[in-house]
Amino acid sequence: MTIETLVENPYIQAESGSEVSVPFDQAEFDANVMGTYGRFPIALDRGKGCRVWDTEGREYLDFVAGIATCTLGHAHPAMIEAVTRQIQKLHHVSNLYYIPEQGELAKWLIEHSCADRVFFCNSGAEANESAIKLARKYAHTVLDIEKPVILTAKASFHGRTLATITATGQSKYQKNFDPLVPGFHYVPYNDIKAVENAIADLDEGNQRVAAILLEALQGEGGVRPGELDYFLRLRKICDDTGILLMLDEVQVGMGRTGKYWGYENLGIEPDIFSSAKGLAGGIPIGAMLCKQFCDIFEPGEHASTFGGNPFVCAVALSVGQTLEQEDILQNVQQRGEQLRKRLRAIAVQYPELVAEVRGWGLINGMELAAETELTSIDFVKAAIAEGLLLVPAGPKVIRFVPPLIVSAEEIEQAAQVVERVMAASAS
Ligand SMILES: *Cc1c(COP(=O)(O)O)cnc(C)c1O
């Protein structure tokens, strides 16, 4: 099969799928798949650009993008080309051998970030887990700390493995999974005094703070951007003390904020950072990147069977190159401004419903007013009924994370749906 025949696939060419219906049995699905997710009652079947169609043939504008993951939207020609080319050549071997595609992707990442070295894995949680392991080894072998503590923020989100739910400063993700992993301590986000106090308080006996792990913008915890002054002062503290500054870029990295990495909005460079969601545009991948001075893992100390296989690396490289060639970061900045302006105008119209609109680039949140009974989940349900996919970020924040290729018309269309749902909610 050639790439051309794939691109001509009728499923991905469909502009309106109203006549297409695919059998889907929800009861059977629920009987077979674990109930770990609270799913919206639609089943998605195909997509193109910023649009997806469900099994009934209904069309949706996709402002979720697989939760900030489908960087280039659905069925992008560059991804189809990379997937097709690489699957025909070699898709998986093992890190027993050199993988040229992995080297090329690492080179691209290093050229487009502050990092000097990359480790590849398969998900955001694993990338953070890698960073946590690296920080602990650094604490033991370089900082000479017997009981290292990692500071993380309240309302953060770092993943679902045991170490990353522990790092996550939200008890709802930890409940019933204790005993948690020792060595974590939480501080309020954007509060430098709290960090200074924690560093002082935790310095006793053979225990000390070894690393600070934060999101550049808290995504899941409510789309809360990091403050410039806070991060500048954090960087200074870490420089003065040797504490590692680690950023979780899983949601905001790879162009989502209008810059390649979230930290570029904060005037600092981290020592270690993680990436995953948007890195390969929706093909599973994770990466932990670091500066040369903390590249201290030795052979056998950390590994991943699938990590950095030829297939995912070829796709991620095509996503990165497409971001560059098509000047997509500029689109992210312009479309982001357009969206915030439109949402802020709606907020002014409905002050009893909307408290604030905030975000960077194409990760934006609309926080509902504390007084209203309207919740983010109610709002998202109403938007889905109007043909717009959105995702909550906590009980009161609605998150807008469309593909980075979203057009001005699509932003306007989404804003009109938000307006309609607001009007209905106000009445
Ligand atoms: C989604 C997310 C994770 C977890 O990523 P997975 O791929 O689901 O393991 C970690 N950190 C942040 C900031 C995220 O948004």
198-217 pLDDT tens trace: 999 999 999 999 999 999 99
Q: Which of 296, 325, 354 is the endpoint of a domain?
A: 325
**Cβ partners under 8 Å of residue 228, min gap 6:** 265, 266, 267
Average pLDDT over residues 169-177: 97
Distance 330 CA to ligand 1 centre (A): 25
pLDDT of residue 19: 59
> Which residue minimizes the CA distance to atom 5 of ligand 1?
124
- Contact 311 CB / ligand 1 (< 6 Å): no
- Contact 274 CB / ligand 1 (< 6 Å): no
> What number of other Cβ atoms are within 10 A of residue 136's Cβ?
17
Q: How does residue 2 score in pLDDT terms, banded at 50, 70 and 90?
A: very low
- Contact 277 CB / ligand 1 (< 6 Å): yes
Distance 157 CA to ligand 1 centre (A): 7
- Contact 248 CB / ligand 1 (< 6 Å): yes
Distance 159 CA to ligand 1 centre (A): 5
> Can you tell me the distance from the alpha carbon of 165 to that of 179, in angstroms, rounded to the nearest whole number?
11
Q: Indicate if 268 and 155 belong to the same structural domain.
A: yes
Nearest atom in ligand 1 to the alpha carbon of residue 160 is 9
- Contact 101 CB / ligand 1 (< 6 Å): no
Assess whether pLDDT exceeds 90 at residue 22.
no
Q: Which of 295, 325, 355 is the endpoint of a domain?
A: 325
In a domain? residue 76:
no
Nearest atom in ligand 1 to the alpha carbon of residue 156 is 13
Judged by phi (left if over 0) then psi (alpha if -120 to 50, else beta), residue 324 lies in alpha
Nearest atom in ligand 1 to the alpha carbon of residue 215 is 13
pLDDT of residue 11: 52
Percent of the chain clearing pLDDT 90 (strictly above): 95
pLDDT digits (tens, 9 = 90+) for 94-153: 999 999 999 999 999 999 999 999 999 999 999 999 999 999 999 999 999 999 999 999
pLDDT of residue 189: 98
Query: How buried is residue 88: exposed, middle or buried, by Cβ count under 10 Å (0-12/13-18/19+)?
Result: exposed
Assess whether pLDDT exceeds 70 at residue 271.
yes
Q: Indicate if 290 and 374 belong to the same structural domain.
A: no
Q: Indicate if 123 and 268 belong to the same structural domain.
A: yes
Q: Is 42 helix (H, G, I), strand (E, B) or coil?
A: coil
> Can you tell me the distance from the alpha carbon of 48 to that of 86, in angstroms, rounded to the nearest whole number?
21
Assess whether pLDDT exceeds 80 at residue 252.
yes
> Given ligand 1 and candidates 251, 288, 401, which is best to mutate, with the most ligand atoms within 8 Å of its CB?
251
Assess whether pLDDT exceeds 90 at residue 338.
yes
pLDDT of residue 15: 53
Q: Indicate if 335 and 311 belong to the same structural domain.
A: no
By residue count, the chain amounts to: 427
> Which residue minimizes the CA distance to atom 10 of ligand 1?
158
What's the Rg (C-alpha) of the chain? 22
- Contact 158 CB / ligand 1 (< 6 Å): yes
- Contact 157 CB / ligand 1 (< 6 Å): yes
1-15, 135-149, 335-349: least confident range? 1-15
- Contact 215 CB / ligand 1 (< 6 Å): yes
pLDDT of residue 5: 44
- Contact 124 CB / ligand 1 (< 6 Å): yes
Rounded to 10°, the helix 310-325/100-111 angle is 30
pTM: 0.95
Q: Which of 325, 350, 384 is the endpoint of a domain?
A: 325
Q: How high is the mean pLDDT of the chain? A: 95
Assess whether pLDDT exceeds 80 at residue 186.
yes
pLDDT of residue 262: 98
pLDDT of residue 70: 98
Q: Indicate if 390 and 403 belong to the same structural domain.
A: yes
Assess whether pLDDT exceeds 90 at residue 293.
yes
Average pLDDT over residues 52-75: 98
Distance 67 CA to ligand 1 centre (A): 10
Q: Indicate if 254 and 381 belong to the same structural domain.
A: no
CB neighbour burial string for 153-178, b if at least 16 within 10 angstroms, e if fewer:
bbbbbbbebbbbbbbbbbeebeeeee
Q: How does residue 20 score in pLDDT terms, banded at 50, 70 and 90?
A: confident
In a domain? residue 75:
no
pLDDT of residue 1: 39
> Given ligand 1 and candidates 220, 306, 401, which is best to mutate, with the most ligand atoms within 8 Å of its CB?
220
Domain that holds residue 362: 3-69+327-426
Assess whether pLDDT exceeds 80 at residue 55.
yes
Average pLDDT over residues 181-190: 98
Q: Indicate if 189 and 229 belong to the same structural domain.
A: yes
Distance 351 CA to ligand 1 centre (A): 32
Q: Indicate if 277 and 364 belong to the same structural domain.
A: no
- Contact 159 CB / ligand 1 (< 6 Å): yes
Average pLDDT over residues 17-43: 90
- Contact 347 CB / ligand 1 (< 6 Å): no
Q: Indicate if 34 and 95 belong to the same structural domain.
A: no
**Residue 381: CATH number of its domain:** 3.90.1150.10
pLDDT of residue 119: 98
Assess whether pLDDT exceeds 80 at residue 4.
no
